[in-house]
């Protein structure tokens, strides 16, 4: 009975993480659309939400990696997964508050790794899997996206740079609808699956099925897709503002180049089974679209803050996961610890969401 | 480190990303160029040349559509 209650709390927490993942990463797909006025803010997040929902049903490859490739599924427990999720949600909210587009994937993996380290020690963490699936891609993704976007914007200016500004801008804005849609779809295929993977990890820890029999039940797919779509529709306006307006002052050609480069890198990495953070990719692409025009077009101070958040994400979320695990153990091994911590987290989320809604209205009104 | 990175896959990733990102941007830029020149030339009465630019724009858009369909099919094959 007690373990069932913990499982219910873990699933609810995983879906709450999925929601924060959606609103934290909305900026990945819509920031460039909004800043170049290709779409209104509400329409942009609506389109992104629908495409995230659809994309969530396409594949379970990322879910399998998260569920089996980072920590030993057999050594995990529902309390560890719960603590990891709270650590990830906490870091997502901190970076959202400061408007920093950090990786939700890294926050989730960091949280689970930290809780696992606190509970079972280093042997339970797959160090090689962590380096291969998380750390190396974190270095490669933004650099590659930056380079592709920098070359792409030079090409765009060469071909269409001397056209009358009106028709050219309208054309690039129309193109952004296609590339922005692709980004949202790709995001859904990657990020909704992380929550699916973590829920399945909890189901394995609870004994519903074994790691060797890894699969994603339909109810897990539907609930994860719905949570990320709702989070996306809620919109993380602070990060949208950073990504769309603070890194570079973006024109429509730069918006298209950044989105095309971001989509290409994400899709190519999916094709070759190389797990990249969509946040790192699109942030790098936005910087590249600015740097391709001229290096001074990028506000490198803002870019530096974003890079610092990327570096801090894994250890900070891991520390959060470890602390939450310790906190839950204060109340013993039963459901009381997760229940107390989750009630505290829900209260915090309610306060933060209320503030976010107010900011969303402000940005929407500005246009 | 060498065992953690498959260098061949990494090169393929870099090449595909460059081809896709630059290719789609180029195709859109050509479509915009063709469409804008079509409008301008038709207004000036150069119908035949304008038709050529319209065809160029249509071809570029078809290339973009093909890229999108290919991308969705890649995602669908990931499962």
The pLDDT value given to residue A240: 83
Query: Which residues does chain B have within 8 Å of residue A257's beta carbon, measured at their own beta carbons?
Result: 21, 25
pLDDT category of residue A73 using cuts at 50, 70 and 90:
low
pLDDT (tens digit, 9 = 90+) per residue, A109-156? 899 899 999 998 888 777 777 787 778 888 888 999 999 999 999 999
The pLDDT value given to residue A256: 93
CB-based contact (8 Å) between A133 and chain B? no
In this predicted structure, the answer to whether residue A62 has a pLDDT above a threshold of 60 is: yes
pLDDT (tens digit, 9 = 90+) per residue, B1-57? 445 567 788 888 899 999 999 999 999 999 999 999 999 999 998 989 999 999 999
pLDDT category of residue A325 using cuts at 50, 70 and 90:
very high
In this predicted structure, the answer to whether residue A360 has a pLDDT above a threshold of 70 is: no
pLDDT category of residue A74 using cuts at 50, 70 and 90:
low
In this predicted structure, the answer to whether residue A51 has a pLDDT above a threshold of 50 is: yes
The pLDDT value given to residue A365: 37
Query: Of A175-184, A290-299, B30-39, which has the strongest mean pLDDT?
Result: B30-39
CB-based contact (8 Å) between A61 and chain B? yes
pTM summary value: 0.81
pLDDT (tens digit, 9 = 90+) per residue, A253-283? 999 999 999 989 988 887 776 767 888 898 8
CB-based contact (8 Å) between A175 and chain B? yes
CA nearest to A274, candidates A282, A284, A266: A266
Integer angstrom CA distances of residue A308 from A95, A244, A302, A313, A320: 11, 19, 10, 9, 17
Find the mean pLDDT for residues A296-320. Answer: 89
CB-based contact (8 Å) between A337 and chain B? no
In this predicted structure, the answer to whether residue A367 has a pLDDT above a threshold of 50 is: no
The pLDDT value given to residue A295: 84
Out of B22, B32, B71, closest to residue A160 by CB: B32
The pLDDT value given to residue A366: 38
Average pLDDT across chain A, whole number = 84
> CB distance A268–B64 less than 8 Å?
no
Query: Which residues does chain B have within 8 Å of residue A131's beta carbon, measured at their own beta carbons?
Result: 4
CB-based contact (8 Å) between B14 and chain A? yes
pLDDT category of residue A294 using cuts at 50, 70 and 90:
confident
The pLDDT value given to residue B37: 94
CB-based contact (8 Å) between A271 and chain B? yes
**By three-state DSSP, how is residue A164 classified?**
coil
Which of B48-67 are b and which e, b meaning 16 or more Cβ less than 10 Å from the residue's Cβ?
eebeebbebbeebbebbeeb
In this predicted structure, the answer to whether residue A307 has a pLDDT above a threshold of 90 is: no
> Cα separation of A229 and A50, whole Å?
6
Query: Which residues does chain B have within 8 Å of residue A267's beta carbon, measured at their own beta carbons?
Result: 20, 71, 74-75
Helices (H), A134-164: 136-160
The pLDDT value given to residue A363: 45
Find the mean pLDDT for residues A53-61. Answer: 80
In sequence order, the 6+-apart residues with CB closer than 8 A to the CB of A69 are A126, A129, A133
**What angle, rounded to 10 degrees, do the helices at A336-366 and A2-35 form?**
20
Find the mean pLDDT for residues A29-34. Answer: 84
In this predicted structure, the answer to whether residue A312 has a pLDDT above a threshold of 70 is: yes
The pLDDT value given to residue A69: 64
The least confident of A17-26, A135-144, A205-214, A314-323 is A205-214
In this predicted structure, the answer to whether residue A8 has a pLDDT above a threshold of 80 is: yes
pLDDT category of residue A364 using cuts at 50, 70 and 90:
very low
Mutation target vs B (from A69, A157, A169, A171; most B CBs, 10 A cutoff): A171
The pLDDT value given to residue B1: 45
> Cα separation of A348 and A137, whole Å?
32
Q: Are the CB atoms for A85 and A10 separated by under 8 Å?
A: yes
Q: Are the CB atoms for A286 and A243 separated by under 8 Å?
A: yes
Query: Of A232-246, A255-269, A332-346, which has the strongest mean pLDDT?
Result: A255-269
Find the mean pLDDT for residues A87-109. Answer: 87
Query: Of A66-70, A150-154, A245-249, B10-14, which has the strongest mean pLDDT?
Result: A150-154
In this predicted structure, the answer to whether residue A58 has a pLDDT above a threshold of 90 is: no
Nearest CA to CA, how far is B7 from chain A (Å)? 12
Residue B32: both structure tokens together: 């915009």
Which of A323-361 are b and which e, b meaning 16 or more Cβ less than 10 Å from the residue's Cβ?
bbbebbeeeeeebebbbebbeebeeeeeeeeeebeeebe
């Amino acid at each position: 009975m007690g373990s069932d209650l913990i499982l219910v709390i873990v699933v609810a927490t995983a879906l709450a993480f999925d929601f924060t993942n959606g609103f934290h990463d909305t900026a990945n797909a819509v920031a460039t659309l909004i800043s170049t006025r290709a779409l209104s803010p509400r329409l942009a997040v609506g389109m992104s939400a629908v495409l995230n929902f659809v994309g969530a049903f396409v594949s379970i490859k990322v879910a399998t990696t998260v569920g089996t490739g980072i920590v030993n599924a057999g050594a995990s427990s529902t309390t560890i997964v719960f603590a990891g999720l709270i650590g990830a949600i906490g870091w997502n909210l901190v970076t959202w508050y400061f408007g920093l587009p950090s990786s939700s994937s890294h926050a989730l993996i960091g949280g689970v790794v930290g809780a696992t380290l606190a509970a079972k020690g280093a042997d339970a963490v797959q160090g090689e899997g962590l380096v291969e699936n998380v750390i190396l891609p974190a270095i490669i993704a933004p650099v590659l996206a930056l380079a592709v976007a920098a070359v792409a914007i030079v090409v765009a200016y060469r071909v269409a740079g001397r056209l009358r500004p009106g028709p050219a801008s309208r054309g690039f804005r129309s193109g952004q609808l296609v590339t922005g849609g692709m980004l949202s779809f790709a995001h859904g295929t990657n990020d909704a699956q992380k929550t699916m993977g973590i829920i399945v990890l909890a189901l394995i820890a609870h004994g519903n099925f074994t790691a060797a029999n890894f699969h994603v039940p339909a109810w897990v797919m539907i609930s994860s897709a719905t949570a990320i779509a709702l989070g996306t529709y809620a919109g993380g306006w602070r990060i949208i503002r950073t990504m769309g307006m603070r890194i570079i002052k973006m024109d429509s050609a730069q918006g298209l180049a950044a989105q095309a480069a971001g989509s290409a890198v994400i899709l190519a990495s999916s094709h070759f089974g190389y797990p990249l953070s969509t946040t790192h990719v699109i942030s790098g692409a936005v910087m590249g679209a600015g740097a391709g025009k001229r290096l001074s077009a990028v506000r490198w101070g803002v870019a530096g803050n974003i890079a610092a958040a990327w570096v801090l994400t894994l250890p900070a979320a891991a520390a959060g996961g470890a602390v939450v695990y310790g906190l839950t153990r204060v109340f013993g091994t039963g459901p009381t610890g997760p229940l107390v911590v989750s009630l505290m987290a829900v209260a915090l989320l309610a306060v933060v969401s209320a503030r976010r809604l107010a900011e969303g209205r402000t940005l929407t009104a500005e246009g | 480190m060498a065992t953690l990175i498959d260098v061949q896959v990494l090169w393929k990733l870099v090449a595909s990303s460059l081809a896709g990102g630059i290719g789609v941007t180029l195709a859109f830029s050509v479509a915009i160029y063709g469409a804008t020149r079509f409008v301008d030339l038709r207004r000036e009465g150069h119908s035949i040349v304008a038709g050529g630019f319209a065809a160029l724009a249509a071809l570029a858009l078809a290339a973009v559509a093909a890229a999108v369909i290919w991308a969705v099919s890649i995602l669908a094959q990931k499962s």
